[in-house]
Structure 1
């Protein structure tokens, strides 16, 4: 079965503002996110791609645009099932404010029980994303063969849930996974089992460097809902 190259969208204006944008329309890449997207064609150079798939949200479509410009023969398919989680009433709120919500502890410690008020559950989010990948695997294999690779641009929580599924992890463990903006996560699917080949690969270790404010990769207490902004 095919190899799936998952791309988290580049850093967005909502990421830098610390806002949980969810499915809010019009959330674009910021300057750094645009630069991350511009570097994507070189990072994927030499890899034949059978398909390009993206969430319908603007930040994902913008992330793949440079890759599509560099490969005119590659067209973009929009897949609704890999859109951002529906955070319901949390959408548009500051993450700093949400940290005090009682539900946040459930989101962090028992995500399989988390249902966002006025939105969807994390279980439903994972189920639709996994179904989309299975369908695209079959489609790509039928049209391009079992050794084909394809790229899919989605969101942090979507990608983390797909990794958990590939590794056979319960959804309650998916907050132990981290994927930075415009990172590459690669899953090779076979007839019997998937293999995680790359996880959150940016080629950049800047997020590991301690910051003066006490931050850095080792400082986070909780997972960033929505994926976070990555290294400064």
Structure 2
């Protein structure tokens, strides 16, 4: 039995360049994000996707909506695909977070991080992998979620250490694919975007400052 899991990061929003959105409600796609979501739907038009799942946060659902229309599918909300619970970090600016000791630990050894009043990254990884394995069926499914959620899943399926988190870049509205078959899991590709934009740099990546990868 062959299963293919498509992991889709939500498209762009304005909060991602200033603050850690986390699970804040009311974060919507901006105009560019809406265009990205439409381009992603065009890229996947005609693909044999059997089910479409989404994080319950607005920016993920809004990314999934054009795809649902293109494929004639209903969006099913799955709390297990929700963003990492950043606890008290949620909503704070990246400039504030960079001054904390925990930020330095996050850059060096993510496996040691538990966000204040939130999740440990190791717990978030277990949650996400369990959700994906529960959802996966013979054929293809699509899951719209968040950058860190996708990176944590990819680390698991690539058999990479949690401390390798920053080696993976997941752009807004990007697509990653995991095949689960008789030979075990294989990552077919990751961070593929509908329209290649070059040069692409994670303009404020977690290793270098304020981060769109955590919004």
Q: Same fold (TM over 0.5)?
A: yes
CA contact (8 A) 2:166 2:206 kept: no
Partner of 1:145: none
Query: In 2, distance between residues paired with 1:219 and 1:14?
Result: 13
CA, structure 1 residues 30+183, in 2 after alignment: closer, same or farther (shift >3 Å)?
A: same
CA shift at 1:109, angstroms? 1.4
Partner of 2:36: 36
More strand by share: 2
CA shift at 1:32, angstroms? 0.6
CA contact (8 A) 1:15 1:228 kept: yes
CA, structure 1 residues 8+29, in 2 after alignment: closer, same or farther (shift >3 Å)?
A: same
Partner of 1:7: 8
CA shift at 1:15, angstroms? 1.2
CA shift at 1:118, angstroms? 1.2
CA, structure 1 residues 95+55, in 2 after alignment: closer, same or farther (shift >3 Å)?
A: same
TM-score normalised by L of structure 2? 0.92
CA deviation profile, 1:152-181 (whole Å, cap 9, x unmatched): 000000000000001001111122101000
CA shift at 1:220, angstroms? 5.6
Query: In 2, distance between residues paired with 1:51 and 1:227?
Result: 25
What stretches of structure 1 move > 3 A for 4+ residues in a row? 216-221, 223-226
Q: Report which stretch shifted further, 182-191 or 155-164.
A: 182-191
Gaps of 5+ in 2: none
Q: Provide the secondary structure at the position in 2 that maps to 1:123.
A: helix
Gaps of 5+ in 1: 142-147, 210-215
CA deviation profile, 1:171-227 (whole Å, cap 9, x unmatched): 111221010000001111113421111110114443526xxxxxx459968166561
CA deviation profile, 1:78-124 (whole Å, cap 9, x unmatched): 11011001111111011122112110121121111101111111111
Alignment of 1:72-221 (within 5 A): 72=72, 74-137=73-136, 140-141=137-138, 148-208=139-199, 216=201
Query: In 2, distance between residues paired with 1:60 and 1:169?
Result: 26
CA contact (8 A) 1:207 1:217 kept: no
Q: Provide the secondary structure at the position in 2 that maps to 1:206.
A: coil
TM-score normalised by L of structure 1? 0.85
CA, structure 1 residues 207+40, in 2 after alignment: closer, same or farther (shift >3 Å)?
A: same
CA, structure 1 residues 219+29, in 2 after alignment: closer, same or farther (shift >3 Å)?
A: closer
RMSD of aligned Cα (Å): 2.0
Q: How many residues align?
A: 213
